[in-house]
Amino acid sequence: MTARTSHRLEVRSISASDHLDYVRGCAGASYLQCPSWGQMPPRWHPESVGWFEGRRLRGVGLVLYRRVPIVGSLAYLGEGPVVDWADLGAEDITAPLLDFLRTRAVFSVTLAPALVLRRWRNEALRAALRVGQAQRLRDLTPDVVDETATEVAIALRGQGWRQYEATGPGFGGKMNPRYRSHVPLTPLHDPSTDHWAGLRARLDTSWRRNLRRSTASGVTVEMGGALDLPVFHRLYVETATRDKFAPLPLAFFERLWRELRAEDPKRIELYLASYGGQVHAAAIRTRVGDEFSYTHGASSNAGRRGRPSNALQWRMLTDAAAAGASVYDLRGISDTLDPDDRLFGLLRFKLGLGADAVEMVGEWDYPLRRVRHHAVAAYLDRRQR
């Protein structure tokens, strides 16, 4: 079914193959906007949609629907849609999308554009931490404020979208992190020069020391396969217990591997760091074109002395650079700068690898059926308390 709209763009349902063909030709598309991801979230149902200007396809999106009995459906676009926000403009992207979703009995929409709003560069952030200048990222003046992302945020707010604001500690998002860490790779890697001088220069002294220790301990990093997922999951459950989060089941990662690999053999990789005849750290990395993302990591308490996690991340970082990635996305961080906060260690680890801290545009909600939207939102909020 085609949505009727007076705007210059139309949103229509498209095939998964047309969706994937478009994503393959885009720089910086997220794995969460690939058709394969639509098979992953339980109780959500996927649909591939396209933005058309006449017969020309100008963007695509993976919409996930969750049916609420009697009420209708929730719709979510994670790190999408895959469109040129600067060229098309927020109004011509969102208005036809809302028209289309009305034909799907959607009462509430959440949109999370894959746009970096603010960036705090690595050196400046380290300096601020040394002097204890602030308690939160947003207390610091960012080094870069992106013009397109700023305009999109202003436009969404003006159209009646409401930005999600986390009420407690965490990564600042409802379903995906608002605060993240990105290691810029180009122009740091020049294949004509000696190895990885530019990347090494971004490492802090602790990281350099730990990499030397991992080498001295005999840590090796290898690529794993589907049969190694139980090894990863054992370490992942140990990590979840240590860091106090609820682990996903092994079946989730087996399905993730199967679905993403079926779409593209390079879409997902498993890295294993071993020494002393045992795997002590493991991580999953996704790839869409030149977008490389570290998505899940795990490590053992017993193997920490050999620093396998440092060796693992360094290998993943250099592999991304060698493959031509412009950014290595280390995913979520908390916006806390408080050394006593339990999430601060994660930020420190990623900063040590040379990452900048970034704030995404975030997740935005729009009520297509206002009473139903607020009633369900209140119910979900009570369940999460």
Q: Do 75 and 127 fall into the same domain?
A: no
Indicate the pLDDT class of residue 288, thresholds 50, 70 and 90: very high
Whether 163 is covered by a domain: the verdict is no
- State the CATH number of the domain containing residue 77: 3.40.630.30
Percent of the chain with pLDDT over 90: 76
Q: Do 212 and 139 fall into the same domain?
A: yes
pLDDT score, position 1: 41
pLDDT score, position 196: 77
- Domain range for 43 is 10-112+363-384
Buried/exposed 34-69: b ≥16 CB within 10 Å, e otherwise: bbbbbbbbeebebbbbbbbeeeebbbbbbbbbeeee
Q: Do 185 and 314 fall into the same domain?
A: yes
pLDDT tens-digit series, residues 50-109: 999 999 999 999 999 999 888 889 999 999 999 999 999 999 999 999 999 999 999 999
In angstroms, rounded to a whole number, what is the distance separating the alpha carbons of residues 79 and 175?
10
Q: How many domains does the chain have?
A: 2
- The helix (run of H) or strand (run of E) holding residue 301 is none
Indicate the pLDDT class of residue 190, thresholds 50, 70 and 90: low
DSSP 176-245: S-SEEEEEE-TTT--TTSSTTHHHHHHS-HHHHHHHHHHHHTT-EEEEE-GGGHHHHHHHHHHHHHHHT-
- The helix (run of H) or strand (run of E) holding residue 126 is helix 122-131
pLDDT score, position 244: 87
Which whole number is the average pLDDT over 233-254?
95
Tell me the pTM.
0.91
Are 199 and 321 in contact, with CB atoms under 8 Å apart?
Answer: yes
What single-letter amino acid sits at 56? R
Q: Do 88 and 201 fall into the same domain?
A: no
